[in-house]
Structure 1
Amino acid sequence: MAKTDDLILFAQVVEQGSFSKVAELNSLTNSVVSKRIARLEADLGVQLLYRTTRKLTVSEAGKVLYQGAKNVKQAAVEAIDAVYGYGESVTGHVKMSVPTISGDLLLADAVAEFCSMHPGLTVDMSLENLFVDLVEDGYDLVIRTGYLEDSSLIARHILDSQWVICAAPAYIASVGKPMTPEDLVTHNCLQYAYQTTGASEWEFKGDSGNYIVKVAGNFSTDNAAALRKAALGGYGLAYVPRCLVYQDFLKGDLIDVFPKRVGKKLGIYAVYPFTRQPPRKIRLLIEHIRERYLAMRECF
């Protein structure tokens, strides 16, 4: 069985590209680092690194192992820092950006609570859906949904946000309930303009994978709250994140038209600029936000 500390050491070797750098980071000798990597290779029965006098090359098996090893390393860092954080003051300023739906739903309260827990900390939180330029605009932390393309940023997955199609009982009573996704082409579909896949392309689960139904309607907006109000007013069907309308479902003000059939699900991520070690206040804030999301996971 591979030892956890050897996995962490292996992740460091891949990231640093050098035994000597890792030895220096951990106050070890080169020979100790080499022996521990050799022990890991022996335990797993595969060669992880090809070593020459000039460079280290990661094998295919090593690349696969690194994906898990770096998670072990990150989890260890976060666990230790979380404990340290209880005994240390968290001070300074954090500039962050969050999406409007999550900001209204839980992040404003969660971040304000974090500030009250750490009196020496101030936070400037913007609510916006556009993906800001973290480095150019000076953001320390961004909460975002969707795929992250910029490799110069670090993204920590928090949870996934399921989308739903909903309508008010008055709308269903007036024009009937669509029985299949294909029925939507005859309905008034209220469209959320803030979508990377297109406001009129609604995704569903099928027997052979997800597929798209093209819809149309007389109302479109880039504001989620406005879309929810239009749906509550009985003016059509809306395709939105479940967290936006979860309480409306519980009260019966909106109906989940296609439960478990909607295919769209987006990851929610905490994103910050790439550094070898992000500030403790950022790591603690991310963990606090993550706990608040997970406490409300049934909404998502």
Structure 2
Amino acid sequence: MINIISKTGAMMVKADDLILFVQVVDHGSFSKVAELNSLTNSVVSKHIARLEEELGVQLLYRTTRKLTLSEAGKLLYQGAKNVKQAAVEAIDGIYGYAESMVGNIKMSVPTISGDLLLANTVAEFCNMHPGLTVEMSMENSFVDLIEGGYDLVIRTGEMSDSNLIARHLIDSQWVICVSPAYIERFGRPVSPLELVNHNCLQYAYQTTGASGWEFKGENGNYIIQVAGNFSTNNAGSLRQIALGGNGIAYVPRCLVYQDILQGDLIDIFPDQVGKKLGIYAVYPFTRQAPLKIRLLIDHIRESYAAIGESFSARV
């Protein structure tokens, strides 16, 4: 319920009282207005009485045969009908908005995904729908969707916030990769245990620890503690260092899949790495996400799937 305060602050009325008043005048009947709004006659009458009490004037003369406006009622009607019209126009303006492909989408994505895939994918989506704009921030920090006003966030790992909707996009397999130049200088590890004798670059942005590399085993996954002379929280830097032949990297496959396809990096344990994280599209809890959000998620999911199919077909 919205209160409208007069310029002097001396009185305050309810917007819905004004709208009902206009309807009563337009239809000339309390019962007709009650029917239109699924109310009882007494409820409509109470709204008008409250309006008259707040304003301190009589607005309507009521007889068994008709309703007549007082002078004050005529004056109020001229202004109050604008309130009703503004409400109608506002509702008409957003009618169907949830199913339209216009407006702005504010989203946040991890640096890895934004740099390598999502920036182009989302830009492509915008070109497909000229009425849309997207404001994308790329960061590794855990953003608050509600406080930050985000419409969509891409996250990896387990989703635990029950106030959010998380739609699974793809599972991100991690790989251990190295350049041919590094192998030529230092040799290629033939088993995970040999990694302890190599320069293992550490990606600091990990919940499981940068130096604990996970592998599949007969009795479940196990961790090997590695060491190296460089660590960073920026996956793109880690990729560049590995490409330069300066160490072995443990990173999400999406970061280096093109490098592996082109032979610039070699996946040295393709069937043994145990780490895999889900990638999710997350948005605030709602009964039905707007069409533009649903279609953008579908577009992102298709892009991820295309990468997976391309990698499987060529490796």
Asked if these proteins are the same fold (TM beyond 0.5), I'd say yes
Q: How far apart are residue 196 of structure 1 and its match?
A: 1.0
Show structure 1 runs of 5+ residues with no match: 1-84
User: Aligned to 1:271, what secondary structure does the other structure show?
Assistant: strand
Find the aligned partners of 1:123 and 1:151 in 2 and give their Cα distance. 26
CA deviation digits over 1:166-203, x for unaligned, max 9?
Answer: 11112112121112111111111000111111100100
1:203 aligned counterpart, secondary structure:
strand
User: What amino acid sits opposite 2:234 in the alignment?
Assistant: N
| 1:198 partnered with 2:198 | no
Q: Does 1:174 align with 2:162?
A: no
Establish whether residue 270 from structure 1 lines up as the match of residue 281 from structure 2: yes
Max Rg structure? 2
1:149-228 matches, cutoff 5 A:
149-228=160-239
In the alignment, residue 219 of structure 2 is paired with which amino acid? S
TM-score, L = length of structure 1: 0.69
The yes-or-no answer on 1:238 pairing with 2:249 is yes
Q: Please list the CA deviations of residues 245-280 of structure 1 after superposition, one character each: whole Å capped at 9, or x if unmatched.
A: 112112221111111100001111100011111222
TM-score (norm 2): 0.65
Contact 1:164/1:239, CA 8 A, preserved across alignment: yes
Query: 1:151: how far off?
Result: 1.4
Q: Letter of the aligned partner of 2:206 in structure 1?
A: Q
Seq. identity, %: 74
Contact 1:89 1:120 in 2 (8 A): no
Question: CA shift at 1:231, angstroms?
Answer: 0.6
Distance in 2, matches of 1:128 and 1:293, equals 19
Return the match for 2:132 from 117, 121, 132: 121
Query: Secondary structure of 2:237's partner?
Result: helix
In structure 2, give the amino acid aligned to 1:259. P
In 2, distance between residues paired with 1:259 and 1:281? 37
- Cα-to-partner distance string for 1:193-235 (whole Å, 9 max, x where unaligned): 1111110010000001111001111000111111011111111
The total of aligned residue pairs comes to: 214
2:155 pairs with 144, 152, 156, which one? 144
Structure 2: runs of 5 or more not aligned: 1-95
- Aligned match for 1:296, one of 269, 282, 307: 307
Q: Which runs of 4+ in 1 moved over 2 A?
A: none
Name the Cα RMSD after superposition.
1.5
Deviation per CA, 1:271-293, whole angstroms, max 9, x where unpaired? Answer: 00111112221111111111121
Structure 2 equivalent of residue 252 of structure 1:
263
